[in-house]
Structure 1
Amino acid sequence: MVLPQAVIRPAVPADLKAVAEINAHYVTNTVITFEETPPTVEDWQHKLADLTGRGLPFLVADLSGEVAGYAYAGPWRPKPAYRNTVEDTIYLSPAYTGRGLGGALLGELVTRSIAAGMRRMIAVIAGAGDDRSIELHRRFGFTEAGRLTEVGYKHGRWIDTTLMQRALAG
């Protein structure tokens, strides 16, 4: 269940140190992100400014002032014809997984992406031997669109990705 004190809200610059720390854990210890060097707080400042400048959501799960997770909708591809399609990104602090925060973040991300006028949302889920992310996305209406095999190499192994999508508008 969602922790009762969890508030899903827009990220602010003061949140970005915690965002960077959460992300660094996954970059360093897992294959669920293809980043190999953790982005700096300055990198996250640029990301926040870019996404909010585009009118796209960047959210945090706030537990009594502690950032327990984050999510954002970023451009799917840089070419202009993709401007109405976003890719979701969701990461939780390892201390707060399995408590409903991922669903709370994804639900709000979908709602705010619809409000931003987006038409489709894509999820690119790295194959890490754990289907929780796929199941989370299915619960929110995403369907599998395909699998790309051995497209990433990290920590000495080849990694597949599962592509999922859902309509946001018409």
Structure 2
Amino acid sequence: MLEEEYQPRRRLPRHLTPAPAPEAPFEYSLRDAVETDLPDIREIYNYYVANSTVTFDEDAMTLAEWRDKFAYLTKLGMPFIVAESPAGQLLGYALVSPWKQKKAYRFTVENSIYLGAASTGKGLGRVLLAELIERSKAAGLKEIIAVIADQGADASIKLHQDFGFEEIGRMGKVGFKFERWLGTVLLQKSLK
């Protein structure tokens, strides 16, 4: 193109520039997980298994494994909640599971929160964690432990700290995934 053919792009004055279309509000409701949610829960979780170090699982969980886990947590009365869009799409989930199998640990749980890719960065993790804490208190649980990867999970660490979780320790090089060593950050919150 010749220089004389180039015409700079004209811009409308600010008062004549149309406003961008407002983004649709991010709407959802929270409810107890049910068995029919498990295929969607599996898909959300398995995305993180395949693509991130926020979970140290290296193999995708099967639907049968999720059914066993769901039955076990239900039997124990552990909170397991989902966030669902008005159209019925599962946006994310949160649960607690026993910290250890020994009976003396029965009032201590580990939390897990996973969001679908389209639901991240919209405050849903915060809402799920708040609800999970309240439901854990109502279930008579006393301590919640968060075990978070020490690489690539800064937002999760900050989220937990915002809710009063305190760092209680770190473990270095306890996991090996994607050809690198990973550690964990342990945080704990007492439920009063």
TM-score for the superposition, normalised by structure 2 = 0.84
Matched, 1:16 2:14: no
Distance in 2 between residues matched to 1:10 and 1:143, nearest whole Å: 27
**Aligned AA for 2:55?**
T
- What amino acid is the match of 1:81? A
Q: Note the C-alpha offset of 1:43.
A: 1.1
Once the two structures are TM-superposed, the CA of residue 130 in structure 1 deviates from its matched residue by: 3.5
* Deviation (angstroms), 1:97: 0.4
Residue 136 in structure 1 maps to residue 154 in structure 2? no
Q: Which has the higher contact order (CA 8 A, sep 6+)?
A: 1
The answer on 1:67 being equivalent to 2:53 is: no
Which aligned segments of 4 or more residues in structure 1 are displaced greater than 6 angstroms? none
Q: CA deviation at 1:129?
A: 2.8
Say which SS state the counterpart of residue 5 (structure 1) adopts.
Answer: coil
**1:116 and 2:139 correspond:** yes
The equivalent position to 2:49 in structure 1, one of 16, 27, 32, is: 27
| Structure 1, unaligned runs of 5 or more | none
When the two structures are superposed, what TM-score results if normalisation uses the length of structure 1? 0.95
C-alpha separation between the residues in 2 aligned to 1:105 and 1:48? 18
Deviation at 1:128, TM superposition (A): 2.4
Q: Greater strand percent: which structure? A: 1
> What letter matches 1:17 in structure 2?
P
Instruction: Give the root-mean-square deviation of aligned CA atoms.
Output: 1.0
Matched residue of 2:126: which SS?
helix
Contact 1:75/1:83 (CA < 8 Å) preserved in 2? yes
Partners of 1:113 and 1:11 in 2: CA distance = 15
CA contact (8 A) 2:54 2:152 kept: no
Q: Which residue of 1 aligns with 2:168?
A: 145
**How many percent of aligned residue pairs carry the same amino acid?**
49
**Match for 1:61: what amino acid?**
A
Q: Return the offset for 1:144.
A: 0.5
Which residues in structure 2 correspond to 1:54-133 (within 5 Å)? 54-64=76-86, 65-133=88-156
Extract unaligned runs of 5+ from structure 2.
1-24
